[in-house]
Every structure is written in structure tokens, then in C-alpha cells.
Amino acid sequence: MRNCKVGDLAVVVKDTGKMENLGLIVRVVNDCGPVDWVEFVCVDGKPPERVVTSLNSWHVEVVSDNGQIIYLDEIEGVLYGERTGDIPDAFLRRLPDLYDEDPKEGKVLDLQNLPFDPAIEAVRESFRLTENVLDI
């Protein structure tokens, strides 16, 4: 079962890079199907190995005005940002309907009733990836 569907708002809770995308809120635009994702994995103190995994992914757009999805250009070895891009479903957690109807204001964003704290989920994932123990 997938975490998201087209039209959902979601928070990025996993990142295979330097964690630049954790906590980013995105809107799911369309289904990309399986996409190859690169991850550098360190095992038993050995140098990092490049691992490619095919993951079901979504094409998403960043919701905030100044946010960007950060990617690594493997050829140039530099980070770059995009307002839209692909992110694996496994890296996302769907946000519930965050808009309340207000008779005067219309739809108002309500961040008080999330079923989880996006920041804590991002920190948990970061600690899991670095194999540290975190009990929140």
C-alpha cells in the first residue's frame, strides 16, 4: 500500500542525501512509477558503496514559496534545487486535510491537529539512517 495519492499534501520524512529535504511539505502531482534511486551506504566502517534501488515514486511540487527539493548531480558532484521533482513514496507521509472552513476566512490552514509531528518523524528517520538510537 502506498503512503500517498495524487493531490495529497505530504511531508518528506526520509532523504538518502545529507537530509536537506527532511520536513519539506510537497503536493503530489502525478505517479512516476518505479524510479532508480541512488543511496550511498556505509557498512562496517568500509568506504561508502553506491546502491541503486528502484522505488515507486511521485512527481511532486513544493508548497512553500521559497522551498526547493535538493538533488545531487552525480556527474558534477554538486547539489541543486528544483521546485518540482520526483520523490519515492517511501520517503513521504501523507498529511491529513489541513484546511478548516472558516465562515469569514474561507479555507484556513490548520497545523494543530496533525496525527504526527513532521519534525519528530524527520529526526527519527535521520537517527535510523545513522544507526543511532532515539526515543522520543
Q: Are 60 and 6 in contact (CB under 8 A)?
A: no
CA distances from 1 to 4, 14, 18, 56, 89 (A): 9, 17, 27, 11, 10
9-38 confidence digits (pLDDT tens): 999 999 887 788 998 999 999 999 999 988
Q: Are 95 and 116 in contact (CB under 8 A)?
A: no
Tell me whether residue 58 is in a domain.
yes
Q: Are 99 and 109 in contact (CB under 8 A)?
A: yes
| 46: its cell numbers | 568500509
Alpha helices in the chain (DSSP H): 118-129
Tell me whether residue 134 is in a domain.
no
Nearest-angstrom CA–CA distance, 11 and 76: 28
Domain count, the chain: 1
| C-alpha distance across the termini of the chain, in Å | 26
Closest CA to 92 of 44, 33, 36, 21: 21
Tell me whether residue 1 is in a domain.
no
Tell me which residue range forms the domain holding 36. 9-129
At residue 136, the pLDDT reads 47
Nearest-angstrom CA–CA distance, 56 and 70: 19
Tell me whether residue 63 is in a domain.
yes
For 26, other C-beta atoms within 10 Å of its C-beta total: 27
Tell me whether residue 4 is in a domain.
no
Tell me whether residue 26 is in a domain.
yes
User: What pTM did the predictor assign?
Assistant: 0.69
Residue ranges, the chain, pLDDT below 70: 97-136
